[in-house]
Amino acid sequence: MNLSERDLVNYCKQNNAAAQRQLYQEHIQGILKLCLRYLDNKTDIEDIAQHTFEKAFNKISTFQIKGEGSLRAWLHRIAINECLMHIRKNKTFQLSFTDEEAWLEDKMDHSENDPEPVPAFELRQVLDCIRQLPDGYRTVLNLYVFDEMKHEEIAQTLGISLNTSKSQLSRARKLLKQLLNSTL
Amino acid sequence: MKNESDQQWREQWEAAELKDFDLHIDTENLWQKIQKPEKKRTVTFTWLRYAAAMLLGALLTFGLTQLGKQEEVLVQKAAQPGPEDKAVLAAVPATPQRTLPQQNDSGPAAPVRQATSAPRVPASNQVATARKESPPMEMPVKQAAGTLPAQQEIMQTPIVPEDTRMASVRPKVKPKTIHLLDLEKKEPAAQKQSKFMMALDEHINPKANDMAFSTKVLTKQF
């Protein structure tokens, strides 16, 4: 059975086991990859993936499809929230610099609109360096670069100010570049 | 504006697979967990330990409470008179209850003191009471002869009504009002000692007067 996204959602709303299985098979890789960026522990990654699908199947009745890719975006949003909740629960989430003046200092150094080109690295190297970043930096970088969130959304999601989000991203980039250069 | 490297990383990320990151997760097993979350979910040891501790605490509290209750019951049982004690108590005649004239609805109003058999107020002391009372019963001759005079005196001590006694001991005197000004005026007068008293005081305790004199002199000197 290979259903379209709309049919898949409709069958899942009727608690169809085959449809749920298909949804799981189509999205489990993406969800695990997403969790891999936020979390280090394999067990945590498995747990978060499990919670994500459980929550998705429980809440799918409230989901309304808005076009192709909206189901994926919805599932990824649930996974991101679960990851952030997990990080907060374990009290490992600490923004490295919370003062907004730091962002202004960064602006003096280099503008976000004029980023320095980063030499090409293998994705594996990039991921390893991202996972070495402090939680605050890593979270903001993940949300901005890979999950394509805007600073307003990041600020709202993490409960921080807009300037703090910008500051975190700027410093995360700096540190990531240093880490990548150190691998050469 | 997004960074070019960001776009590049994102594209690479989308194209990558889990095995590229050496992450091996049994997705089938994970699906089984998702399908049957209630059956598969295990209680962590921490929670189990916490629950066990709570249960133990509750049991301990319950046990101690029960023990306390049992002790209390035993103490109450020990305090209560047994069947033998009850028999002894039953043999003792109950003291006749005196009924006040106001409480007795059936019979005529009788004075409380008259209900007792002991000799009561002599006729000479019945000033305060308006009601006429019967004269005190005389002691039987045999009993009077056998008892000591002191005992007789005690037994024959008339029991006077309380209001009568109060009236005889404390005559009603109008309370005298004393003002503070009067006290201030009276104090110097009281302090004034007559020459006779001063001489007497000196005679009784001459050293004290000498000492007082010497202190006066000393204080004047310094």
Q: Which candidate from B1, B9, B33 shows the least CB-CB separation from A145?
A: B9
Write out the two tokens for B159. Answer: 């029991």
Rounded mean pLDDT, B111-130: 51
| Residue B165 reports pLDDT greater than 60 | no
Distance of residue A93 Cα from the nearest chain B Cα, in angstroms: 23
Could you give the CA distance from residue B53 to residue A61 in angstroms, rounded to a whole number?
Answer: 40
Write the pLDDT tens digit of every residue in B35-94. 876 554 555 677 888 899 999 999 999 999 999 988 888 888 888 765 555 555 555 555
Asked whether A144 and A169 are in contact (CB, 8 A), the reply is yes
Amino acid letter for position B218: L
Regarding predicted confidence, which is higher, B121 or A138? A138
B8 touches chain A (CB under 8 A): yes
Are A123 and B4 in contact (CB < 8 Å)?
Answer: no
Q: State which residue of chain B sits closest to A113, comparing Cα positions.
A: B1
| Residue B127 reports pLDDT greater than 90 | no
Residue B222 forms part of a structural domain: no
Distance of residue B65 Cα from the nearest chain A Cα, in angstroms: 39
Residue B57 forms part of a structural domain: yes
- Which of A111, A127, A149, A151 is most worth mutating to test chain B (most B CB atoms within 10 A of its CB)? A127
Q: For residue B22, what pLDDT is reported? A: 80
Could you give the CA distance from residue A118 to residue A46 in angstroms, rounded to a whole number?
Answer: 32
Q: Are residues B75 and B50 in the same domain?
A: yes
Give how far Cα B166 sits from Cα of A44, A129, B160, Å: 94, 106, 10
Asked whether B119 and B156 are in contact (CB, 8 A), the reply is yes
Q: For residue A102, what pLDDT is reported? A: 55
pLDDT band at B19 (very low <50, low <70, confident <90, very high): confident
- Which of B1, B4, B11, B13 is most worth mutating to test chain A (most A CB atoms within 10 A of its CB)? B13
Residue B188 forms part of a structural domain: no
- Which chain B residues are closer than 8 Å to A33 by Cβ? 13, 16, 18, 21
B31 touches chain A (CB under 8 A): yes
Write the pLDDT tens digit of every residue in A105-126. 554 444 454 455 555 677 888 8
Residue B17 forms part of a structural domain: yes
**SS3 of residue A53 by DSSP:** helix
CA A63 to chain centre: 20
In sequence order, which residues have a C-beta less than 8 Å from that of residue A155 and are 6 or more positions away?
Answer: A161, A162, A164, A165
Domains of chain A: 5-89 (1.10.1740.10), 100-183 (1.10.10.10)
B40 touches chain A (CB under 8 A): no
B30-63 core/surface letters (b: 16 or more CB in 10 A; e: else): bbebbbeeeeeeeeeeeeeeeeeeeeeeeeeeee
Expressed as residue numbers, the domain containing B27 is 4-40
| Residue B169 reports pLDDT greater than 70 | no
Write the pLDDT tens digit of every residue in A121-131. 778 888 888 88
Q: Of B63, B80, B97, which marks where a domain is finished?
A: B80
Amino acid letter for position B96: P
**SS3 of residue B10 by DSSP:** helix
Could you give the CA distance from residue B22 to residue B38 in angstroms, rounded to a whole number?
Answer: 30
B131 touches chain A (CB under 8 A): no
Instruction: Give just the sign of the alpha carbon dihedral A103, A104, A106, A107.
Output: positive
How many structural domains does chain B have? 2
Residue B190 forms part of a structural domain: no
Are A28 and B12 in contact (CB < 8 Å)?
Answer: no
Q: What is the pLDDT of chain B when averaged over all its residues?
A: 66
What is the separation, in whole angstroms, between the first and last Cα of chain B? 100
Q: For residue A80, what pLDDT is reported? A: 94
Are A50 and B33 in contact (CB < 8 Å)?
Answer: yes
Residue B49 forms part of a structural domain: yes
B64-98 core/surface letters (b: 16 or more CB in 10 A; e: else): eeeeeeeeeeeeeeeeeeeeeeeeeeeeeeeeeee
Q: Which candidate from A17, A113, A146 shows the least CB-CB separation from B13?
A: A146
Residue B218 forms part of a structural domain: no
Residue B31 forms part of a structural domain: yes
| Residue-by-residue pLDDT tens, chain A, 184 positions | 677 888 888 899 998 889 999 999 999 999 999 999 998 888 999 999 999 999 999 999 998 888 778 899 999 999 999 999 998 887 655 555 444 455 545 544 444 544 555 556 778 888 888 888 888 888 999 999 999 899 999 999 888 889 999 999 999 999 988 888 887 6
Are B18 and A32 in contact (CB < 8 Å)?
Answer: yes
Write out the two tokens for B126. Answer: 């019945």
Write out the two tokens for A50. Answer: 């499990």
- Which chain A residues are closer than 8 Å to B16 by Cβ? 33, 123
Write the pLDDT tens digit of every residue in B170-216. 556 666 676 666 665 555 555 556 777 877 777 776 665 566 555 55
